[in-house]
Structures are given as C-alpha cells and as structure tokens.
Amino acid sequence: MTDPKLALDPHLVARARDLASRAGAPIVDLARRHTTVSVERATLRLGGLDGADEDGTPWVNRLTEAVAADLYADGGLAHGVSLPVWDALVRGEAGPSGDLAALARRAAAGRARFRLPEGPDAERAAEAARAAVGGGLDAIAVRRREREQLLAETGDAPRQPWIYLIVATGDIHEDIPQAQQAARAGADVIAVIRSTGQSLLDFVPEGATREGYAGTYATRENFRLMRAALDETSRELRRYVRLTNYASGLCMPEIAVLAGLERLDMMLNDSMYGILFRDINPVRTFVDQRFSRQVHARAGIIINTGEDNYLTTADAVEAAHTVTTSQLLNEYFAHEAGLEDWQLGLGHAFEIDPALPESFRLELSHALLARALFPDAPLKWMPPTRHMTGDVFRGHLLDGFFNLAGALTGQGILLVGMMTEAVVTPWLSDRDLALQNVRYVLEAAGNLHEDFHPAPDGFIARRAHHVLGETVDLLERVVDEGLLAAIADGTFGLMKRPADQGRGLDGVAEKAPDYLNPATEVLDGPTAARPVLQEVSR
C-alpha cells in the first residue's frame, strides 16, 4: 500500500517491484552458487576461531589459506573450509588441545594437513562443524535477546527520526567519551565510521586500535568497547542508544558476524557501494552481501544502504531515478536474505544544488517518494555534502532546510549535517551546534508530516510520478541487459565496473557439488530468522 499523499499508481509501483525482483533473481542465483574467502572465514569465526598471530594476521586468514593450499588440486575453496577443518580436528591434527586456535597455529607452521573426507569420515566432520558453527549462530541470537531486554529496561528513543551522529577520531578510547557526550546531547544512534581504506583490507584487524585515518578501524574489540560504553550511557539516560558500523568491503561477512556477536544495532550494508566506489569485484560483493545480510537478519540488525553516494558523483535531479531503482533492488535483496521492512534503512540524500530554482520542493518530492514506496522502512536521510562550500553560515542554514525536509516527509533515521562539511573534521563544538539545529527543527515541527499534504496535481506530486516512471523505464532496461551489465555500463553513480574485474575476484569460488557450510545451511533455511523472533517475543 502506498502513501495517499502522492496517489502513486499502484500498478506502476507493483510493476517496479516486479522488475526489481526479476533484475535481482539472477544475482541471488549467482550468490547461491559461489562462495568467497570472507564467507569461509566468517564461518570459522562462527565456529569460535578468533585472534591473530604475532604479525597481526587473523587466525581465520591463516587457516583458510592453509586449507586452500592443501586442497588446491581438488578445487580449493570450492569445497568450503568446514569439512576439511573439522575433519582435521576429529583426526587430531590440532594436537592435545583439539581446538580451532591450535589447529590454526599448527597449520600456519606447516604441521597440520587437510583433506576432503568421504563416507563416515565426512559425516563425522559435518556433524562436528554443524555443532560448532551452530553455537556461533546461537550466540548471535542470545545477543539479540539482550538488546530486546535492554530496550525494555531503558526505553527507546521517544520519537523518529532517530538522530544519527558520526564519531570517529581514529582512537577508540577517544571515540568513547565523544560518543557518550553526543548521546547526552541528544543523539539516538552513534556511528563509528571506519578508517579510510579498511574496506580494501582482506582481513579484519585485531584488538583495540588507536591510530586510524579519518575514522576508527572496525575490530571486534572496538565493537565490544563501544557497545559496553553506550550500554552504560543508555542506562544513565533511560534511553537505548544504538551503535552503527560498516559491513562493507572485502570482509563484509566477517564484520557482519562480529557485529552480531557484539550486539551492534545497525550496519552500513549496501548491495552496490563497494562495487561502485571501492572497485570491489561485483561477484565478490554480491556473494558477500547476501551472507552478511542473512547474518543481520538473524541478529536483528538494521541495515543502512548507500544510495546517497550516487548523488556525490551524479546530478541529484537527473539521477534521482537511479536512487529509487537502487532502493528497490536493495529491498529485494534484503527481503530475499530474510530482513524485514523494519530493518531496511534505505538511503537517500538532500544533494540537489541549492542554487537550482525550486530545489527545496524537488527535495521534498524525492524524499516523499521514498517514504511512499517504503512506508514501513526506517529510511536513512542523508545531509548535504556535495554543495557545502566552506561557508559555515550558509551550511548551517542548508542543514536546517535538510532537517525540515526530514520532519515534513517522516524520515526514520536522520544523519546530523555539519556546517563544517568540506572544511575540517568536526570539533565537539561543531557537533553541539549541529545537534542544536536538529533538535530545534524536530521539536518545533513536531509531527508536521501529519499535516503536510502536497497538492495532488502540484509540482511535488508531478515530480514524484515522473521519477517513478523513469525508475520503471530503467528497471526494464536492467532486466533486459542484466544487472551486472548495467553496472558495467556505468548506470549507477556513473561508475563502470565490469563483472570480471575489480578487487577480490581471486577470492571467489564456484561451489563444488559436495560443498558444505553449516552457516548457510541454517541461514538459507525456510525460517532462518523466525526462530529468533519467536524466542525474543516470549
């Protein structure tokens, strides 16, 4: 059902969703037929393997590499790591301790050997793998129940949109007090953005980190420290403060698992961001994305998609329909992976050139179209960046217009805009002023979106209908060409990314007939996320 404010043609909306599913279905089939090194490493993490060697290389990397080296003639990762790894444990290759960490150490030293077991040996290895990996999935379910319990104890944010603020100094021990103070100043969601370039690392750094570049490294220990600090602040404020990080890049599945184990609440997870803006191979990205979203579904994590990034490279008016197209594709991929509407923080942004006549009306039209198409999704509304000039007074005013658009169109997650965008990394005082701006607009506007009804044949409604029509036209072309071909042609964000190029392609493998992964067995099941929801509700 669409929002009556725009009176969108329901047949055209249904047509758009049908086309998105037709465009996305071959990608899902592709993802089902392949695995990646990061999916396999994520499975080992679910099985309990953690830590790193003295050089900082994670044991999951060491063990995966050893398995691939031993089985290269038989297809390497095409068979997955689960059967050979747990077969090695059953055979005593780990030594007296018999655990994954010991096996990884012995494998790295060349003192463990791997094989593809057959018959009863394969059955024993599969049973052991399922028990270990199932324990990791159960641990994620437990953390989800903890969130529900803490929400019941502290209460939730009193209204939407939730105020989303970025904190990332590079030093997790500096991030923590800044995040706590931001929550006290009104932030509902704290986002710790990652250090520049981490998405291109094919490993997850280990431990608490104190040196990052324009961000803080995403590590399990950093997740744990920030979650514990925000839990403390949530109890202090009697309001649950959510934590966000990034599940993207070459280690998307692993970071998703670590986020589930450490009870993060939101993760940046877009189907095409890594392809377009980090030149990661499309096949690698789609395989990793599906697995990571399945984990998010089980963990009760809200995803944030990255359509706003398209508008930093393409014109926000001319390319508006590419944003809507991507939102519909992201919705399809998310639903297929088990995510529910309340977990779909679909992205869009206030990026129209403010010098353009009627720019605010255009922004309202695009924002209202997203709200109409996805009425039950907590849409993530992104502030102006492309047309911030360094004039902090103009920027502060533009952020006020952005906040007002969010209030008028009922957005769910509102990222705080900074008047110093394009000048410096924000100071605490900048954040304080920006939060004052948001709070003033949201408190003054109240539930103004209830009263905002654009004229049925007016500028805002006509523009929304036009963008929807262009979206359907584009989706028809994507279905005809194939999504991979459309990405290669530069359809989204003007970036051309062929499917046979890009970073991480060498980490993709087509699954062999006897491939086994206990995690995907559970996550692909017909009720993959449902048992968790039932347990939470009891």
Give the whole-angstrom CA distance, residue 126 versus residue 81: 11
Give the whole-angstrom CA distance, residue 328 versus residue 374: 9
Give the whole-angstrom CA distance, residue 470 versus residue 477: 11
Q: What's the Cα-to-Cα distance from 446 to each of 100, 159, 212, 471, rounded to whole Å?
A: 54, 9, 39, 32
The catalytic residue among 70, 175, 308, 430 is: 308
Would you state the structure tokens that stand for residue 81, as one six-digit string?
A: 């790591």
Active-site residue flag, 273: yes
End-to-end distance of the chain based on CA atoms, in angstroms?
Answer: 30
CA atoms within 13 A on the CB side of 15: 14
Q: What burial letters (b/e) apply to 394-428, b meaning 16+ CB within 10 Å?
A: ebbebbbbbbbbbbbbbbbbbbbbbbbbbeeebee
The catalytic residue among 380, 399, 430, 511 is: 380
What helix, strand, coil percent values describe the chain, rounded to 5?
55, 5, 35
Please work out, in degrees rounded to the nearest 5, the angle formed at the alpha carbon of residue 437 by the alpha carbons of 436 and 441.
115
Q: For residue 258, give the H/E element and its range.
A: helix 252-261
Determine whether 118 is exposed, middle or buried from the number of CB atoms within 10 Å of its CB (0-12, 13-18, 19+).
Answer: exposed
The catalytic residue among 273, 310, 332, 515 is: 273
Give the whole-angstrom CA distance, residue 317 versus residue 123: 57
Would you state the structure tokens that stand for residue 73, as one six-digit string?
A: 């003639």
User: Which residue is it, tokens 């059902």?
Assistant: 1
Would you state the structure tokens that stand for residue 96, as one six-digit string?
A: 């007296």
Residues designated as active site: 273, 308, 380
